[in-house]
A and B are shown apart, each in its own frame.
With several copies, the nearest count.
Chain A
Amino acid sequence: METITKIMMTIITEQNLERSIIHDLEDLGVDGYTIIEARGKGDSGIKSATWMNDTNIQIELIVDDALASKIYNYISDTKKYDNYSMMVYLSEVKVLKRH
Chain B
Amino acid sequence: MTLDPVVMFFIAGFIISLMRVDFKLPSAIYEFLSIMLLITIGLKGGIELSKQHVGDLIGDVGIVLLMGVFIPLLAYPILYLLGQFKRVDAASIAAHYGSVSVGTYAVGVAFLESHHVSYESHMPLYLVVLEIPAIVVGIVLAKGISKETNWAEMAQESFLAKSIVLLFVGLFIGWAAGEKIHLSLDAFFFAPFKGILALFLLEMGVVAASQVGLLKKYGLFLLGFGIVFPVIASCVGLVFADLMGLSLGGSLLLMILAASASYIAVPAAVRIALPEANPGLSLTASLGITFPFNVIVGVPLYYKIAEMYLGA
Contact = CB atoms under 8 A, between A and B. Distances in A.
A84 B272 CA distance: 10
Contacts of B27: 49-52, 55
Interface stretch (B127-135, B137-145, B263-271): B263-271
B24 A53 contact: no
A83 B268 contact: no
B275 A50 contact: no
A92 B268 CA distance: 35
Interface string B280-304: 1001000000000000000000000
Interface string A31-52: 0000000000000010011111
A16 interface: yes
Contact of A50 (B210, B271, B276): B210
A27 interface: no
Contacts of B246: none
Interface string A43-83: 00100111111010000000000000000000000001011
Interface residues of A, number: 16
A20 B272 contact: yes
Contact of B275 (A53, A55, A84): A84
Range, interface on chain B = 20 to 34
Contacts of B34: 52
B244 to A, nearest CB: 33
B102 to A, nearest CB: 13
Interface SS majority for chain A: loop
A53 B279 CA distance: 10
Given A51-B27, A52-B264, A16 B271 contact: yes
B201 to A, nearest CB: 13
A97 interface: no
Contacts of A84: 271, 275
Contacts of B271: 14, 16, 53, 84
A51 B32 CA distance: 11
A53 B268 contact: yes
A53 B210 contact: no
Contacts of A99: none
A51 B33 CA distance: 12
B4 interface: no
Given A50-B210, A83-B275, A16 B30 contact: no
A82 B275 CA distance: 8
23 contacts: A16-B268, A16-B271, A19-B22, A20-B153, A48-B210, A49-B27, A50-B27, A50-B206, A51-B30, A51-B207, A52-B27, A52-B30, A52-B31, A52-B34, A53-B264, A53-B267, A53-B271, A53-B279, A53-B283, A55-B27, A80-B275, A83-B276, A84-B275
The 10 closest A-B pairs by CB, nearest first: A83-B275, A83-B276, A50-B24, A53-B267, A16-B271, A51-B30, A51-B207, A50-B207, A16-B268, A49-B27
Interface of A: 14, 16, 19-20, 45, 48-53, 55, 80, 82-84
